[in-house]
Amino acid sequence: MKHPFLKPLACSLPLAFSLMSGSVLAKDMLMVAYADPEDSIFGKAATAFSEKLTEVSGGAMNCMLFPNGTLGSINEIPAMLQQGTCDVTLIVTSSLMDLCPEVGVFDLPFLFNGYEDARTTINGPVGEALASKIEEQSMHVGSWLTMGFRETTSSKPISSMADLKGLKIRIQSNEVHQDIFNALGASPTVISFSELYTAMEQGTVDAQENPYVNIYSNTYYEVQKYLVETNHVFQVATLLISKQTYDELTDEQKSWVDTAAAYAADVEWQATIEDNEKAKQGCIDAGMQFVTIDHNEMLNATKGVYDKYADRYGELLKLMGK
């Protein structure tokens, strides 16, 4: 139920700096910053967190929302949480690897069979272990989130795994992702997200990989013909709370925040499933040719990636029962 008077506020950058330049923000108002738009999956989760916190606290705690990177970039916000100058963020785990390399385990290929398998596993012992590691970096895991499976688009025809051979595919700067596509016979190339559309348009790369929501929202269907459901990596994310902020809360306030974080996760996982499906259909409606290829064949081809990272992620994989 939404509070009739207190609503989440989306603040501008000037207001953000004015808030930060004064006294320490009272802990009845949490600053929630994230890099995505308000209508994104993370935006929906941030709004859900804010509204639930207001509801369960009877209006005693509220949030100010800073979408679109207005408070800081995706690379800056974790440091702000560590310093206590931002209270809450929603962020993919791949953006936390410099602070907590162990979360890289989620970048291994074909780790989960589906959303239910992923959520059950992530919220089990492995999630607890990784939350403890993240806590050492002065950030508290409020709940685990997701962006769904990463898929592939291409300007060249793809009908089987054999068509991946030599494919020039853009990847983010991620060692495991590079190993995955090398194992599949492709030619991975690191290009910044902001330059990706132009790189595809100019033919610098033939392909790229992202969740469906990113593919559709960035109109890659304008420069890519084939939409390939590879499901090669399941993108995990998290709702993080500044440990400094969390430790200052009373036990009652912590219970309110915990409840709001759990509710935001429920909203976010469902939104991820629904929005990715809508985005997939949107790409098809825009003229992309939808293709599925044998995931088991791809899994077998990438088993060597697990061997390479056995020493680094072996204990975490055991906690997942893998």
pLDDT tens digit string along 162-220?
999 999 999 999 999 999 999 999 999 999 989 999 999 999 999 999 999 999 999 99
Tell the residue number behind the tokens 């997701």, with chain if given: 146
Confidence band (pLDDT; 50, 70, 90) for 292? very high
Interval 214-272: pLDDT, tens:
999 999 999 999 999 999 999 999 999 999 999 999 999 999 999 999 999 999 999 99
- The DSSP bridge partners found for residue 226 are 154, 289
Q: Is the pLDDT of residue 290 over 90?
A: yes
Interval 30-89: pLDDT, tens:
999 999 999 999 999 999 999 999 999 999 999 999 999 999 999 899 999 999 999 999
Q: Could you give the CA distance from residue 215 to residue 197 in angstroms, rounded to a whole number? A: 10
The Cα-based distances of 135 to 88, 102, 122, 138, 272 in angstroms read: 14, 13, 16, 5, 26
Interval 47-61: pLDDT, tens:
999 999 999 999 999
Q: Could you give the CA distance from residue 63 to residue 49 in angstroms, rounded to a whole number? A: 9
pTM: 0.90
Closest CA to 282 of 202, 211, 200: 211
Return the ∠ at Cα 90 (arms to 77 and 251), rounded to 5°. 95
Q: Is the pLDDT of residue 105 over 90?
A: yes
- Residue 4 is predicted with a pLDDT of 34
Q: Is the pLDDT of residue 98 over 90?
A: yes
- Residue 15 is predicted with a pLDDT of 44
Q: Is the pLDDT of residue 283 over 60?
A: yes
